[in-house]
């Protein structure tokens, strides 16, 4: 359904005034993956890895620097502004902070009605009430303003608004990161049941690997603008092949004191600045297995089993 081919997004950073110097920040650097109909594809990584930029660039909220995005065989990256507007209802996004993504001066009703009116929908009132019910809110919420309801309820409103035009594909950009765990669970269950009822396809962006394990079918791990590992949830979580994936997985605090994760695998250093990324394999500065070749040559994506791709020179040789 979604096909991303060699997607690139570089941001220019200018230095100096008279002798201007431009450095390119490669936020997304040659990323390729596909999402099947009705599937949830998780995108994980630390802050600055380029996962949010990937989500926004593939919706063309940012203009890509290079590469192609296909949505049901339509080349999104080749559409004109007008054509893109016609496609927008099919592709929607939900952001992390529910308060700042809702207009504080509109009632909940108006917030959900806005896209319907914009696209010339009839029966606006009925549709809004249906949507409210679908996300577990009631008619009484319709008259309120965003600051009168809780964070979890705001996120439900954002979901209702995204669903208003019957989309097929949703980008969920850290949709539960600002919520408490008990509310997070409610929203995750809601997203799961909406996906089943409406046959939605999700790109789920998160730094929380527990949440990704819960919701995603397949997952891609990003590091400094590159995908380093792609596979099914079971392949990546139960059998991680890239040293970075292993480091990430062994860093998560597990809610079970008998399985203390600390001390098991050493974690080295911090994510380098994306303005000055390391040469060769971008992970070599933190990799416990790095050798000479890793500093010089960037590894290719290799398929180690069906559907499981890894970008590492020594894949298969690592224990």
Partner 1 sequence: MKKLLEINDLYINFKTLWGVAKVLNGVSFNIREGEIFGLVGETGCGKSVTALSILRLLPPNAEISGKILFKGDNLLEKSEEEMRKIRGKKISIIFQDPMTSLNPLFKVRDQMLDIIELHEGLDRRSAEEHAKKLLKAVGLSDPERILNSYPHELSGGMRQRIMIAMALSSNPYLLIADEPTTALDVTIQKQILELILDLRNQYNFSVLLITHDLGVVAEVCDRVGVMYAGNIVEIAPTEELFENPLHPYTQGLLSVVPDPRIKKPLKPLKGSVPSLLNPPSGCRFHPRCFYAKGICGNVKPELHEHSPGHFVACHLYGGEDQ
Q: What is the DSSP letter of 198?
A: H
258 binds partner 1 (CB under 8 A): yes
Closest CA to 171 of 200, 198, 196: 200
Q: What angle do CA 146, 150, 153 make, to 5 degrees?
A: 80
Which residues, at least 6 apart from 241, have a Cβ–Cβ distance to it below 8 Å?
229, 304, 308, 310, 312, 315, 316, 318
Choose the binding region for partner 1 from 76-84, 123-131, 196-204, 244-252 (rule: CB under 8 A): 244-252
Query: In this chain, which stretch among 5-13, 24-32, 90-98, 174-182 interacts with partner 1, using CB under 8 A?
Result: 174-182
Least distance between partner 1 and beta carbon 114 (Å): 26
Of 84, 183, 302, 304, the one binding partner 1 (CB under 8 A) is: 183
Q: Does 255 bind partner 1 (CB under 8 A)?
A: yes
Return the ∠ at Cα 100 (arms to 190 and 194), rounded to 5°: 15
- Work out the angle between the directed axes of helices 151-163 and 124-134 (0-180°, nearest 10): 130
CB count in 10 Å sphere of residue 275: 11
**Per-residue CA distances from 216 to 42, 209, 237, 296 (Å):** 5, 10, 11, 34
Locate 227 and state its tokens.
Answer: 């995908």
233 near partner 1, rule: CB under 8 A? yes
State yes or no: residue 10 binds partner 1 (CB under 8 A).
no
Identify which of residues 201 and 245 has a Cβ nearer to partner 1 in the complex: 245
DSSP state of 257: G
Q: Which stretch binds partner 1 (CB under 8 A): 7-15, 22-30, 100-108, 258-266?
A: 258-266
Nearer to partner 1, 65 or 186 (CB): 186
Site for partner 1 in 195-224 (CB under 8 A): 207-211, 213-214
Number of residues that bind partner 1 (CB under 8 A): 42
Rounded to whole angstroms, the Cα distance separating 144 from 166 reads 24
Binding partner 1 (rule: CB under 8 A), the pick from 23, 74, 78, 181 is 181
Radius of gyration of the chain (CA): 21
Strand order in the sheet with 40-44: 91-94, 169-173, 201-206, 40-44, 218-223, 226-232, 308-311, 301-305
Does 103 sit near partner 1 (CB under 8 A)? no
Write down the residue that tokens 């507007």 correspond to: 85
Question: Can you read off the two tokens belonging to residue 296?
Answer: 């010089």
Per CB under 8 A, does 253 bind partner 1? yes
* Near partner 1 in 12-71, by CB under 8 A: 46-47
Beta bridge partners of 206: 44
- Least distance from partner 1 to the Cβ atom of residue 267, Å: 5
Candidates 99, 145, 237, 289; binder of partner 1 (CB under 8 A) is 237
Residue 150 sits in the site that holds partner 1 (CB under 8 A): yes
Figure out which of the listed residues 13, 61, 74, 252 binds partner 1, where binding follows CB under 8 A: 252
Q: In the structure encoding, which two tokens stand for residue 160, read together?
A: 């209702």
CA dihedral 221, 209, 185, 105 (to 10 degrees): -50
* Closest distance of CB 287 from partner 1, Å: 12
Q: Least distance (Å) from partner 1 to the CB of residue 273?
A: 9
Stretch touching partner 1 by CB under 8 A, among 126-134, 140-148, 175-183, 307-315: 175-183
**For binding to partner 1 (CB under 8 A), which residues are involved?**
46-47, 150, 152, 180-186, 188-189, 207-211, 213-214, 233, 237, 247-263, 267, 270-271
């Amino acid at each position: 359904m979604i096909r991303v081919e060699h997607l690139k997004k570089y941001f220019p950073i200018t230095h100096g005034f008279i002798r201007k110097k431009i450095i390119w920040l490669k936020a997304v650097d040659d990323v390729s993956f596909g999402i099947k109909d009705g599937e949830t594809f998780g995108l994980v990584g630390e802050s600055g890895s380029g996962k949010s930029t990937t989500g926004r660039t593939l919706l063309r909220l940012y203009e890509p620097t290079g590469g192609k995005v296909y949505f049901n065989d339509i080349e999104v990256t080749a559409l004109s502004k007008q054509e893109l507007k016609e496609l927008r209802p099919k592709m929607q996004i939900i952001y992390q902070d529910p308060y700042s993504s809702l207009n504080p001066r509109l009632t909940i009703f108006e917030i959900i009605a806005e896209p319907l009116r914009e696209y010339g929908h009839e029966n606006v009132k009925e549709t809004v009430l249906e949507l409210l019910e679908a996300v577990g809110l009631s008619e009484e919420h319709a008259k309120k303003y965003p600051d009168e309801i809780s964070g979890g309820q705001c996120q439900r409103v954002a979901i209702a608004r995204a669903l208003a035009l019957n989309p097929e594909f949703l980008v969920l950009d850290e949709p539960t990161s600002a919520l408490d765990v008990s509310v997070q669970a409610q929203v995750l269950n809601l997203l799961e049941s909406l996906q089943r009822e409406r046959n939605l396809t999700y790109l789920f962006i998160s730094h929380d690997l527990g949440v990704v394990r819960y919701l995603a079918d397949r997952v891609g791990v990003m590091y400094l603008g590159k995908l380093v590992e792609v596979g099914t949830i079971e392949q990546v979580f139960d059998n991680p092949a890239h040293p970075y994936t292993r480091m990430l997985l062994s860093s998560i605090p597990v809610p079970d004191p008998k399985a203390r994760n600390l001390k098991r695998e050493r974690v080295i250093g911090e994510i380098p600045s994306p303005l000055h990324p390391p040469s060769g394999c971008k992970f070599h500065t933190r990799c416990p297995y790095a050798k000479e070749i890793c500093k010089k040559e960037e590894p290719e994506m290799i398929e180690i089993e069906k559907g499981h791709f890894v970008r590492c020179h020594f894949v298969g040789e690592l224990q």
